[in-house]
Chains A and B, each alone.
Chain A
Amino acid sequence: MGELGGFLKLKRAETPERAPAERVGDHREFVRTLPLVELREQGARCMECGVPFCHSGCPLGNLIPDWNDLVYRDRFREALDQLHRTNNFPEFTGRLCPAPCEAACVLEIDEGNAVTIKQIELAIVERGWDEGWIVPQPPAARTGRTVAVVGSGPAGLACAQQLNRAGHLVTVFERDEAGGGLLRFGVPDFKIEKRVVEQRLAQLETEGVEFRYGVDVGADVDPAELAEGFDAVVLAVGSRVPRDLPIPGRELGGVHFAMDYLCERNRDVAGSAAPAISAAGKHVIVVGGGDTGADCVGSAHREGAASVTQIELLGEPPVTRPDELTPWPLWPMKLRTSYALKEGGSRSFAVSTTGLSGNGRVEQIDWMRNNGAPPFAPEPGSEESHPAELVLLAMGFVGPEPSLLEQLGVARNARGNVEAEEYATSVPGVFAAGDARRGQSLIVWAIEEGRRCARTVDAWLAE
């Protein structure tokens, strides 16, 4: 355990961030790490609970108390081993995970006091990269079995790495020009610089995973061939069909899905393609109050938007954890202010968008206030109109793209996701993991799905 009674003496230190005014001027990561001494102090706050709710709150089952303690004792090398034991890519989660572990931390019963687990995780893995401790771990022997993984998002990568380490020969098919899926194309650089993704991809490659980029299975490759040519196929294609907003004016120019905008931004920052969508100098409306919406807000700031407004269908949640609704250790439905809103812009809750208007291109958005909860009845007389030159729809995803799934003939559930109870689909030898299976979710879930799917595939291959 950390230090006995450490949590009583030491305060939680929030993640240090670059000043908003400064960071909006570039695309470098805005999150910083604590100095080592302070970080170890944060590790000392861990009580090493008999029932570590953090460990249960983490979808990966990260051995949080174990590595908190090791960090406190300055034993980073072992901490890294423990971290990698459950998590293939801590540098992804350490940057991007909303940290349900911290919400479930026993110290969070006293709200706002959770151990800074996410920072510690990041620090461990960054130290590992810096020290050169993270090296390729190719398998000692090959089984001779082959696996095709479709999709190189976190689920696909985790699955590929696990299967490769088990000795199978893994080929990853990625329709985009580079690996990482939404990590690379969905999440802005200021949250995760792409070198972070690349260094991990390099590790996988050196370990023996083959990547085939720009190959769209279902379009460029016949899925049947794939199934034929590999002993197993894993579908990790994500949940990429966005939820639309069926209102008058939806068809106007300047109304885009968030992910289209973010992909362009990422390619732009990477210098790989010129963008077609721009927020520069525009009044930007972001519809949807989640993380994707926030990334749109942050990107728009960096493009120099005239104004950025984020609207959310749901009502404004309470500032503190609502015990009657989401008591500890559940993820609290409470008000959170994203990094992006700290950089500027405004937001409104309980907003039902009623229409978009403009002349070919969108110019105005109309909305009404609602009661903040289903069925979101609009309040009569609450109509408002706002200038809108770029409208970004960030309302989540409804499911995986159907084409490939249909070609393979895998069964899907009512929500359109691949039906794969224990990761095996209805088609023998075809497996599914990640958002394609469970629906849109967090990166941790994607990694966990990839790992578990790999276990299933490995067992199946052994038979």
Chain B
Amino acid sequence: MTHRRPDNAPPAPPGPSGLYDPAFEHDACGVALVARLSGEPSHETVARGLTALSNLEHRGAQGADADSGDGAGILVQVPDAFFRGEFGEALPPAGAYGVGTCFLPQGAGRAHELEEIVERAIAAEGQRLLGWRDVPTEPSHVGRSAMAVAPAIRQVVVGASPELAADQDAFERKLYVIRRVAELAAGPALVVPSLSSRTLVYKGMLTAPQLARFYPDLSDERFASALALVHSRYSTNTFPSWELAHPYRMIAHNGEINTLRGNVNWMRARESQLASELFGDDLAKVLPVIRPGGSDTAVFDNVLELLVLAGRSVPHAVMMMIPEAYAGRPDYPEELKGFYAYHQCLMEAWDGPAAISFTDGRVIGATLDRNGLRPGRWLETTDGWVVLASETGVLDVPAEQVLRKGRLQPGKLFLVDLDQHRIVEDDELKHSVATRRPYAEWYAREVLHLADLPQLPEPARPVEPLRRRQLLFGYAQEDMKAMLAPLARNAEEAVGSMGNDTPLAVLSRRKPLLYSYFKQLFAQVTNPPIDSIREKVVMSVQASVGSERNLLDETPEHARQLVIENPILRDDELERLRQVASDVFKAHTVDTTWPVADGVDGLEPALERICHEASAALAGGANILVLSDRSAGPERVPVPSLLATAAVHHHLVREGTRLQTGIVVESGEPRSVHSIAVLVGYGAAAVNPYLMLETIGELVELGSLPDGMTVEQAQARAIKGIGKGLLKVMSKMGISTIPSYCGAQIFEAVGLAPELVERYFTSTPSRIGGVGLRDLAEGSLIRHARAYPGSADELLPVLGLYAWRRDGEHHQWNPDTIALLQHAVRSGTFETYEEFSRTVNSDAARRSTLRGLMRFRFAEDGGIPLDEVEPAAEIVKRFSTGAMSLGSLSREAHETLAVAMNRIGGRSNTGEGGEDPVRYVREANGDSRRSAIKQVASGRFGVNANYLANADELQIKMAQGAKPGEGGQLPGYKVDQYIASVRMTTPGVGLISPPPHHDIYSIEDLKQLIYDLRCGNPNARISVKLVAEVGVGTVAAGVAKAGADHVLISGHEGGTGASPVSSILHAGVPWEIGLAETQQTLVLNDLRSRIWVQTDGQLKTGRDVVVAALLGADEMGFATAPLIASGCVMMRACHLNTCPVGIATQDPVLRERFAGKPEHVVNFFFFIAEEARQLMARLGVARFDDLVGRVDLLDADEALTDWKARGIDLSNVLRASEPVPGAPLRRTTPQAPSLDGALDWELIDIARATIDGGAPVEAALSIRNVNRTVGGLLSNAVTRVYGLAGLPAGSIRFTLTGAAGQSFGAWLAPGIELTLVGDANDYVGKGLSGGVLAMRPPEDAGFRAEENVIAGNTILYGATAGRAFFRGVVGERFAVRNSGASAVVEGVGDHGCEYMTGGVAVVLGRTGRNFAAGMSGGIAYVLDEDGSFPSRCNSELVGLDPVEADDAETLRALVEEHGLRTGSPVAARLLADWDASLARFVKVLPHDYKAALERDVALSTGGEGFLTAETETTEAAA
């Protein structure tokens, strides 16, 4: 069903405007390849490719104009017969001519110019122009907005010169040179999707089905190929371009390259030293290698193409760019590990979720990133076809023709070699690549390890007293106490709570260090963060320094790198580096201080001097640059270490010499995870934070650390803690290794002057201007003045950043504001509230937020009378309380918020902890404790069919303000019986929320989850919660296109939960920027009308509410303020369970102290609504709706002068988008219905009588991959009537035949049984709620089920009850976060049973590695035939035991049922000799869970009125 937008002119793709910048667009998609092993070209290959593409359509997206797709395309071999038909026999033999598809501007004049450029390039390169051809197109098959920007499409045919006619590889290189020469001459106007003698690309801004209709060529029988690569794109933006459609020249990509900025910088730096015998002088013509304006995929394609044309095989080049996680893999062959280690010296990994399909026209294949974050399923038929796609079932293949089925595996290559007519297995392929040269030998011989260097004495240096140096580098007492002491004590970064209510660095009066101006970016929606703890197998902090050599060559000398195991260096390690005596390595130390006497004007020349000295040192042969501020003292002031590092890094990148050296920072300034992360992010390979280490020594002396801890131990622990923190910061963005993070600039600058950013932090987003070099210098000099003169034992300043101090940093929540608000809501006096509001909004306090710098443009005529303004009772309905789980909050506090919000018609939020069903029943007095918003977070705690059915809004939490990009953990001691029952887990067992949703690795996955939730409750609105960071607007546009009804933009300041302090302070940006960006982007795209926008983050007054509305919010969320109204006093000890006012605690004694009442919260919301009304009257706006998006009513407050002096520029934030005329600024229309075609309607019809109380029903139907979330709506229909208990077992039975779409059996309710004959895609049994699933291959299948893949990744995610049986192997993350379901499967991929907290998993086959990571509860039984299982199990939380007698019964019953339901021969074989079989099982039992079982509380569920369907099914399974 399509949804037509009103007749509006399609917008032209815009450039950057306001806060919208096309650079932040993301895309992801569906991809497929078809190949014929015989290698014989046929049109059928093309046709099959196009069919597969059509069946992936649901993975793509449309914009506001539903007929315009985000992009689709196909890559085939050059169809010789076709072109021979077109051009006649004049055409040289196949291989001796190339065909180029060109996108040219509409309009003959300009197109002709570009054609001439191409022709000149052909001639200049000595090749022959054979002619041009108009590619026929059918414009009627394109959407309006796509057509508006459609190019003219022409093909050029180039004949090989005689000397190249026989050397096709050389001809290919020449065609590449021609293309680059033409592209460089023509600029962005000329787009050449392909120019090759082997491959040909057709693509465009099309939907999948439009592709074949738009290009009639594709239907021509002569259009034949032995391979086809197809792709359907989903972009977050709404201005997809024709050029950015996939496939590119060599690849199609599903995923995202997280490290792109760094990769681009490094490639640029590499260009100066590129040389290739094959290219010879031609190489200079193609530089720069990367075409500007390309997407991550385009850039990847550019580099891959170069590597391949310069002589490496495609698999070789792919293995270089996307290496698997090889470290710590004793099972890997040495030559392969050596290959990877060697190539790591040549190039950093291109890191990110990636399923890359590639081809050079001779081989075609695919690979998957090390995390396995994208799906890929393949099958081979008995008649010689191979199909690989993002989903199974894209082509109908009769079961008897299936030879085998498999899936792409993390880090593995899948390759079809058409010359060899076969699939080449990963290990064979890698062996051949890895042994092409003695890489391992080279590496072992040439590489140097820091640890192997001799220990050298440290040089004697004049040492200033410690205290002075601490003052010089801005140390504060709080640094020692709140940061360094916990770091050294626990080898973990300190944890804080309750968000950040201090000013942005640029607004602070205490001149914070430069690091604070940089905000960490994090993954949300378009790519997943990684769990750096549970999935540390893929993470590494190893770094190296040295010179890099010509990328296009390979010699032993390439491995001459100095490997550093940890980027945080102790002093003695730095000395080893500095004094290295070697032919290869030479270190040079650059002093990064400047004379105090030069004052503020001395900084700039100092930077110039530093850069110049760096260049000179490189010219003199240095390849390790140590940037050192050791010489700081009475006469010399240190340059901010980050500034020195970034300045040198970018200077050398510009100069083309960056790869000749590694940069090491020796500085007294860095002392936190964040500071070191920023240094590495801007180019440092290693950091020696010498003053931090010395200060830790002082802490030992002072006795601030546990007795007996030596200085060395404390330093080692601190280094370890920072290393862990660094991994976490990297993993937030989905980056796994230091070389990939180094220089990747995964930051947004907030509050720095544009010229400063452009010069020293080139290409870092920075949107509100800010301070420049002089201010930074001033800060350094002020710190210097504090240190000199002054007595050496002067006390350090207090700071007051983490906890309020009178003379410290400003906090919006301070004793005055907290007390006033509490007095106001308790006494119910508006006057006291006004005093509160005045205090918050007062001039001084306003300077701490961006909204504080704005003023209203009140109506000049005085506005309208107050009584004409919409009543407060209406306005409060726009308010909701934040997502705070029961568990983080006490039950009393949680229910108080719910009752209050229900009284005023607003919405409270469950948070991620589930909800007790007794709260769904209204109280006698009319109150309701039910939370209108039910959150669906990555842990999926308590998310089942009943929970979904009882929501008004389902909120997908992609990130939270306090710690975007991170997971969470509820320690076991906080999980009491009640919490456990609500979360459907086991008391005393710790609960982990993974950093990513394991069913959302990309935007199309989000679209799927939105669909799943709609099925789970068709009446609820679906919301997606995002956190403000640069690019959130384009993500929000993607969310709108994914069909969500509501998007929440959270500011970085908010957050009530516990979180590492670096995340609280340094991740995300203020909501004002994020909201404005979102509003501007949505309006620009005409998507705003179909989605509600909400914002939150330290909102506390009516003024805040009105500013938010004017910047574009329909609704507002509040968390801290209502908690304070309920009695919170900002202890900031939420993580300690000692909340003295009974809010953030589960301690019964403390909970009794809770004194909050719903009326307090009600008063608060009415007060702010009243204040908002007063402002509305003065603005002359009667209806709140009419405020939304009226950014013209806001202005920067010119009266506040000191921030202007700091260079802040709000014009981007306050800019109104130029919308399509008449496009609404607020939500006016619903999303197009998405459930209309669902198979479930049919199922519900069949089961209607049963649901209405009739007899059990059984039926058989067929199913296809486009039938998604089958069983979801049916479960909702059952749950609406029967609640959690559902129907009696076996009431509704369906047998479905075919390939099931994603999320098969999601939320399946008790009483429903689905049997699938065929196979299934990802997310089978998501949130299984008591139903039964079984799947098996068709009877006539020609393959052994137990060796082939039957279902995809992330199966039984968050299942709470029920059973599932899989006759076959499944993908990664089987039973992830399962808390109650029982399942049997015949083989699983990596990370099986991850984060499982309950239930039973039986694996009758091989597991992948990292099994049971983060598994805190439940039991797994693994059939370990060869005794190798323990090496693949992550034993951090679990123990391995033999199966005992009690278990044996459970196990046998499940295996029997498996046999019964799936006809599994494996089950039959095991049961035939059960006793012998039993001995081969290993029982995986989490330690926590074992302890809980021993306490005999495992099966008690507790909680008032909690029905226990899960217990019943567990027993039934037993």
Contact = CB atoms under 8 A, between A and B. Distances in A.
Contacts of B1507: none
A49 B795 contact: no
Interface in B170-210: none
Given A8-B1149, A329-B819, A55 B806 contact: yes
Interface string A135-152: 000001000000000000
B815 A50 contact: no
B1129 A106 contact: yes
A257 interface: no
Contact of B807 (A61, A66, A82): A61
Contact of A49 (B481, B702, B704, B803): B803
A7 interface: yes
Contacts, number: 99
Interface in A44-73: 47-53, 55-57, 61, 63, 65-66, 73
Contacts of A394: none
A49 B806 contact: no
A49 B1129 contact: yes
Interface residues of B, number: 42
Given A50-B1132, A51-B803, A65-B803, A327 B826 contact: yes
B703 interface: yes
Contacts of B798: 63, 66
A51 B804 contact: yes
Secondary structure dominating the interface of B: loop
Contact of B1138 (A8, A51, A81, A110): A8
B1140 A47 contact: yes
Interface string B782-797: 0000000001000100
Given A48-B803, A50-B497, A324-B827, A107 B1140 contact: yes
A409 interface: no
Contacts of B1130: 49-51
Interface in A68-115: 73, 75, 78, 81-82, 85, 104, 106-107, 109-110
B806 A61 contact: yes
Contacts of B811: 51
B1133 interface: yes
Contacts of B802: 50
B1131 A66 contact: no
Contact of B1131 (A8, A47, A75, A81): A47
B1108 to A, nearest CB: 25
B806 A7 contact: no
A66 B795 CA distance: 13
Given A47-B1133, A50-B1133, A109-B1140, A327 B823 contact: yes
B552 interface: no
B804 A110 contact: no
B805 A55 contact: yes
Nearest to B1152: A110
A106 B497 CA distance: 17
Interface residues of A, number: 36
Interface string B691-710: 00000000000111000000
B1133 A56 contact: no
A65 B803 CA distance: 10
B825 to A, nearest CB: 11
Contacts of A7: 1138, 1140
Contacts of A66: 477, 481, 798
Given A8-B1149, A65-B803, A327 B822 contact: yes
A323 interface: yes
A10 interface: no
A330 interface: yes
A107 B1153 CA distance: 11
B1140 A81 contact: no
Contacts of B807: 61
Given A75-B702, A106-B1140, A50 B806 contact: no
B814 interface: yes
A281 interface: no
A78 B477 CA distance: 12
A5 interface: yes
B795 A52 contact: no
B815 A109 contact: no
Contacts of A85: 795
Contacts of B818: 51
A134 to B, nearest CB: 15
B1288 to A, nearest CB: 48
B845 interface: no
Given A327-B822, A330-B819, A81 B795 contact: yes
A4 interface: yes
Interface string B1145-1158: 00101100100000
A52 B1149 contact: no
Contacts of A49: 803, 1129-1133
A168 to B, nearest CB: 17
A78 B1141 CA distance: 31
Contacts of B1132: 49-51
A367 B1129 CA distance: 46
A82 B797 CA distance: 11
A212 B1133 CA distance: 52
A45 to B, nearest CB: 11
Interface in A412-462: none
Q: Closest 3 interchain pairs by CB?
A: A50-B1132, A56-B815, A61-B806
17 contacts: A4-B1136, A8-B1147, A49-B1132, A51-B811, A51-B818, A53-B815, A53-B819, A55-B804, A56-B804, A63-B805, A65-B803, A82-B795, A109-B1129, A109-B1140, A140-B791, A327-B819, A329-B819
Interface of A: 4-5, 7-8, 47-53, 55-57, 61, 63, 65-66, 73, 75, 78, 81-82, 85, 104, 106-107, 109-110, 140, 323-324, 327-330
Given A50-B1133, A85-B795, A106-B1141, 13 more contacts: A8-B1149, A49-B803, A49-B1130, A50-B804, A50-B1132, A51-B804, A51-B814, A51-B1129, A52-B804, A56-B806, A57-B815, A106-B1131, A327-B827
